[in-house]
Amino acid sequence: MSLNLISTTSNALRSSWQYYLTVRGLLFALTKVSLSALERNCPAAAQKLLSTCQEWGFFLLGLEGSDQGTEMLQYAQEMFDLTADLSEMDHETLNQYHHKPPDFTRYKSIGTTKTEPGKFDKIHVYSIAQDDLLGNASSEPQLPHPETITRKKAQTGDFLAPSHAVLDRVLASLDIVLGITPGTLAAMCPPTEPSGTLVRFIWTPPSAQQPDYSQISFGGHTGMGIMTLLFNVAGGLQVLPPGAANVHENWRFIRPEPGCAVVNVADTLEQWTGGLLRSSLHRVVTAPGAQAMVPRRSVAYLLRPRQDASLARFVGGIVPPLKPGEENETRSVDEWNEWRSRQIMKGQLKNKQKSEGARLCTDSAH
């Protein structure tokens, strides 16, 4: 049975977070933005959204108090249950549905992505394309899924509409505070057009009796699309502060909060805004304290631009214009995503300084 998303009841989880709250600097308190306030077009909430997207690129989206948010939590709980079902499948069966790079849909097994020199990830992932679930026309053939997925494909498809609607509300608020034409961001990612948008199920087995708290389950990376909507209960997600060196002691835990989703700005949105909004490096490690002893499960909606979208920088509002001699991005969405996927698999991402904007580093991470 999965842990409830609305009210976490595990004393072990609560006590371990209380322990980490006493350890100076390990825990980062995300800014909380209320979905209901954004729905009411509250200027203060929109400004709070802009500030946290500029500084960290991560925030908690409070879903309670909103009819749409409450519906979202219910659908997310169903997807948590599906993640639990996937985690109980044997590896031999799952491996029959293993992804083939550069396509990252379907199953990704443990040990396929570099985390540190000579070390690899400890995380299971199963991804389903939005195009597959909605039947959007696409050049990519639809691949088979295990029976665990196919019997709940309709419920998974039902998860898409509220997920997209919630992020659509966030993007509409960003249109306003960025000073760009209303509807600009939504027009870049309509759910009815082919895109790389995914639903992703993520799970990590519980640790042994002596957890290795230095274990990196999934190495430092940034999101490849527009925004990610993440539901999780157990800890382990970390973000690297702007400009900080990629060393273990600099990473900060993000604490999940009941009734909330974690949202992060991804690379395409950073690109469109000329680095004004930040796509931050984040990773997954062994969950802190007693949380390491329970299965870690997450559900994510990765919103990506339509396939024919331009990556050129937006013009207008507070988006910084191109500097003299600076060239606009000319690669297609697919070309850019393929290049970025190779970087992530090889562990070739490095933290960006605050002043770097959308410039991406390809040095090996250390």
pLDDT digit string (tens) for 298-345? Answer: 999 999 999 889 899 999 999 999 999 988 888 877 777 777 767 666
Measured N-to-C along each axis, helices 67-87 and 153-178 cross at an angle, to the nearest 10 degrees, of 130
Contact yes or no for 347/113 (Cβ under 8 A) = yes
119 or 79: which leads in pLDDT: 79
The percent of residues in the chain predicted with pLDDT above 90, rounded, is 64
In angstroms, the CA 153 to CA 249 distance is 41
In angstroms, the CA 306 to CA 189 distance is 5
* Distance, C-alpha 295 to centroid of its chain: 19
- Give me the domains of the chain, ranges plus CATH numbers: 24-352 (2.60.120.330)
What does the chain come to in residues? 366
Q: In what order do the strands lie in the sheet with 282-285?
A: 27-28, 252-254, 237-239, 282-285, 216-221
Answer whether residue 352 shows pLDDT above 50. yes
Tokens found for residue 337: 């995503």
* Closest to 218 (Cα-Cα) out of 195, 238, 234: 238
In angstroms, the CA 266 to CA 333 distance is 13
Q: What is the pTM of this model?
A: 0.89
User: Which positions ≥6 away from 356 have C-beta within 8 Å?
Assistant: 275
